[in-house]
Structure 1
Amino acid sequence: MADTLTVHRAGLSVVQDLGRLGRSRYGLPVNGALDQYSARVANVLTGNDEGAPLLEITALGFACTPSAEVLIAVTGAPAEITVDDVPRPRWEPVVVRAGETIRVTRIRHGLRVYLAVHGSVESPYLLGSCAPDTILGFGRTLRDGDQLAIRTPFPPVDHPFSDIPLFRLNAPVPRFGESWTIDVTDGPDLAEFGDSAERLFRSEFTVTPQSNHIGLRMRGDVPRRTATGEVLSRGVPVGAVEVPAGDELLVLHRGRGVTAGYPVLAVVTSTGLSALGQARPGQSVRFRRRTVAEAVAAYRTQRADIDSLRTRVRTVFDALTPHPASE
């Protein structure tokens, strides 16, 4: 019988991965974890592949109990993490005994928390991904009482020195707060806004409650298009900052459709998208202009941080795993 996680309090949680890559040509949104960085790090901390299925917990509390000993890691927005009511650290691997209850409460500053389990969890796949798709009606939204099968049993790694700081992995933790600075590069229709385009970088915008995984709506001093020609429907990237008619900006996220007909003023960078995935309704957002070269450099730095963390995790796992004596 497979080891399981029994969900006691589901809140708003789904089984998630990094998305359905390469399917936009067929008209399918990429979807996947809105904070890709936090999701990747949670999996790396538990020794999983970066793209393995994990739990994405949005805004509300969550609780579950494993049937066997497991190794977990919790990343993403600041939250209270307890195991049988004992506080446990975030952004570090944590061993949980069979029958102990994991609770995630008081999610704050950001919006989403990621919980990875060593070995990952079972989930149905569609075109290479378990990422939910609300248009297709696909994906596993969790409910109280659900049981998630764990793919690979966790071998005990208790070690008398595992609490010594030598074994702290120092995963780089992003900044969370009540306001966000989001990096963007120039969009293809920037020139159509004339001097009005500078409002995007001078103004502060507020995330509205109508925001979701498809796109974030923001109120503020919205730039105005000065060109009068019609904008034809065309392919749009994840992160497109669109200016529809009205008083809101629309920033497309990972659940966006693949075509649209609004002018694109800017495009959020890869690193900026993860931060934007944590922006809560009511929080303020400022946009910061970056060149493509600067955006690529920031992404490479983030990738290097994850690769370095993976190396440290492997070193610790090797140190804690018993090796047979040589003959």
Structure 2
Amino acid sequence: MSAGFLTVVEAGSAQITDLGRSRGPRYGVPVGGALDQRSARIANILAGNDDRAPLLEIMALDAEFIADSDILIALAGTAATLRVGGIERPNEQPVSVRAGETIEVRQITGGLRAYLAVAGSFDVPRLLGSCAPDSVLGFGGRLLAGQRIPLTRATPPILNTNFGAELYRLNVPARPDTTTVEATDGPDIADFADTARRLYEEPYVVSPTSNHIGLRMTGILPERRVQGEVLSRGVPVGAVEVPPGNELLVLHRGRGVTAGYPVLAVVTTTALDVLAQARPGQTLRFRRVSEAQATERARAERAALDALRLRVRSVFTALDALPTSSGRTLS
């Protein structure tokens, strides 16, 4: 039974997604999901949800929503202005919303994507265990103005009634460098001989033809020095390919599971989040790291998110223990 609805007032370029369908590739289906996985996880953690819970991915354009019940939200990702009931509220913090108040996400700057999570998440259809859109399969898609998204629960306001502010301030791990893309050497790096070093020496500019399937970049490209075709084979998310033409291609989460271009490098999981926020015209540089370094960075990032999760749980547990008059408040 629905606990109410979140109604789309202004859709922009928003969609419902999650961390993707991990079961998809075994069936030839792209993993898909939130392109900036780190920010999606942070938004859900701050809202008290499981990391894989459905949430809203808001790309580039303004969006506005209204809930018909009290809810708790959190916005993470690139810089954006969050307003609730016309009042600006903080990003990367849990924020209470009363029934009937508008939620506005505007002025998305710096990067491309912001993620809006609601405590309890949404009751939405899933395919292979995920609600992530897939245009090839015709599943999901952009939200439309007037669309109503079922909520799974209401959350009474968590406010200090004397000051009208939240009772907490959570420290969120700082974002990584947004201009540097870390990558490990790929299986076909030897095919490029001494020109392979160009990947790590030259700047590359993000092309406007980039999308969720892959980022295309222009610059001085490495050149394949061997002849012959590359047989189609499985390729990972993050593969850096040099197809015929004048662009470098970095495959992202919407990529097909097989391809037939040489793989020069593979970007790290942290770098995928950087690429998710890269705007057309932005200049990026690649930096070589070893597999051991990439693994160490991924573990450190996961540990930081685990620590944030513990802090959020501690805050929510403490607030649940407070005496209440109207919702969870302290007067």
Shorter-chain TM-score: which interval? over 0.9
Q: Aligned partners of 1:165, 1:30: CA distance in 2, in Å?
A: 37
CA contact (8 A) 1:182 1:276 kept: yes
| 1:76-91 → structure 2 map (5 Å cutoff) | 76-91=77-92
Q: What SS does the aligned partner of 1:22 have? A: coil
CA contact (8 A) 1:157 1:321 kept: no
CA contact (8 A) 2:160 2:166 kept: no
Matched, 1:277 2:276: yes
Match of residue 12 from structure 1: 13
Alpha carbon RMSD of aligned pairs, Å?
A: 1.8
Percent identity over the alignment is: 56
Q: What SS does the aligned partner of 1:158 have? A: strand
Matched, 1:215 2:214: yes
Q: Which amino acid aligns with 2:18?
A: D
CA apart distance, 1:53: 0.1
Match of residue 257 from structure 1: 256
CA apart distance, 1:39: 0.0
The alignment of Structure 1 onto Structure 2 pairs a total of residues equal to: 322
Q: Aligned partners of 1:158, 1:106: CA distance in 2, in Å?
A: 26
Matched, 1:94 2:91: no
Q: Aligned partners of 2:242, 2:139: CA distance in 1, in Å?
A: 30
Q: Aligned partners of 1:315, 1:161: CA distance in 2, in Å?
A: 23
Match of residue 104 from structure 2: 103
CA apart distance, 1:153: 2.1
Cα offsets for 1:80-132 (capped at 9, x unmatched): 11112211110111111111111111111100000000010121100100000
Match of residue 128 from structure 1: 129
| 1:37-116 → structure 2 map (5 Å cutoff) | 37-116=38-117
What TM-score does the superposition give when structure 1 sets the normalisation length?
0.95
What TM-score does the superposition give when structure 2 sets the normalisation length?
0.93
Instruction: Give the direction of change, closer, same or farther, for the CA distance of 1:123–1:284 in structure 2 (3 Å limit).
Output: same
Match of residue 228 from structure 2: 229
CA apart distance, 1:176: 6.9
- Listed as ranges, the gaps of 5+ residues in structure 1 are none
Q: Aligned partners of 1:127, 1:27: CA distance in 2, in Å?
A: 12
Q: Aligned partners of 1:167, 1:157: CA distance in 2, in Å?
A: 10
CA contact (8 A) 1:159 1:320 kept: no
CA apart distance, 1:322: 3.4
Q: Aligned partners of 1:137, 1:91: CA distance in 2, in Å?
A: 32
Cα offsets for 1:45-75 (capped at 9, x unmatched): 0000000000000110000011111110000
CA contact (8 A) 2:3 2:69 kept: no
CA apart distance, 1:3: 1.4
Q: Aligned partners of 2:313, 2:58: CA distance in 1, in Å?
A: 27
| 1:280-319 → structure 2 map (5 Å cutoff) | 280-319=279-318
CA contact (8 A) 1:186 1:265 kept: yes
Which stretch shows the higher mean deviation, 95-104 or 43-52? 95-104
Q: Aligned partners of 1:208, 1:248: CA distance in 2, in Å?
A: 8
